[in-house]
Amino acid sequence: MTKMMLLPDFNHFYFIRHGRTDANDLQLMAGGTNDIPINATGHAQAINAALILKNQCSDIQSICSSSMTRAQQTANIILSQLNRPLQTEDDLIEWKFGEWEGRTWTEISPLFLDDNAEPEQGEGREEFKMRVLSGLQKALQLPHPVLIVAHGGVWYMIQKIFNLPLKKTDNCQIFKIYKQNHGQYSYYEVTL
């Protein structure tokens, strides 16, 4: 884990990416400056995820969501099944992609995954990492375990921060991130 900012102690937390959007359907990059809603598929995904969370993750004590519409809509659907306090956190909004915005994932994925590539007129990797760290610090101070509702770019950066194997997340895919006995971190997907 990066030593840039001290995170509160925790045993585990959960992460879910927001429900599907029209931009996801078209495989377009929709970053932190493109505040779009979930679509009908995303709504159905969020309902299903809420039921999984209710049945498999009943230990969740609080929810911390990105302030972007798609994450807020997903969090509010989850609240219908998990009656927990919700905090909104601006530091958990999606990466500001600059000139990558609106381009296809196929076109941008090699740059996205290249630690040396920076989105022109966007948020630099180090700036984004520090912002996500700040968001994590705030989220992990809430009663825990906490559920973080955010974005694919935030999930990518969480994996980098905790030195986790990189895995792209689908919409409404749920992960449990936990501390192992030797101080390393790991995760697994939560399913029915």
CA-wise closest residue to 138 among 35, 16, 19, 5:
5
Query: What is the residue whose two structure tokens read 């194997």?
Result: 165
pLDDT value of position 70: 98
Q: CA-to-CA distance for 177 and 79, rounded, in angstroms?
A: 21
> 174 - beta bridge partners?
16, 190
- Residue-wise pLDDT for 11-67, tens only, equals 999 999 999 999 999 999 999 999 999 999 999 999 999 999 999 999 999 999 999
Q: Does the N-terminal peptide bond of residue 143 adopt cis geometry, omega within 30 degrees of 0?
A: no
How far lies 91's CA from each of 83, 133, 138, 179, in Å?
Answer: 23, 8, 9, 23
pLDDT value of position 157: 96
Domain 12-190 fold? Rossmann fold (3.40.50)
> What are the residue ranges spanned by the domains of the chain?
12-190
Q: Do 21 and 39 meet the contact criterion of CB atoms below 8 Å apart?
A: yes
CA dihedral sign of residues 56, 46, 68, 94: positive
Q: Do 73 and 18 meet the contact criterion of CB atoms below 8 Å apart?
A: yes
Q: CA-to-CA distance for 35 and 142, rounded, in angstroms?
A: 25
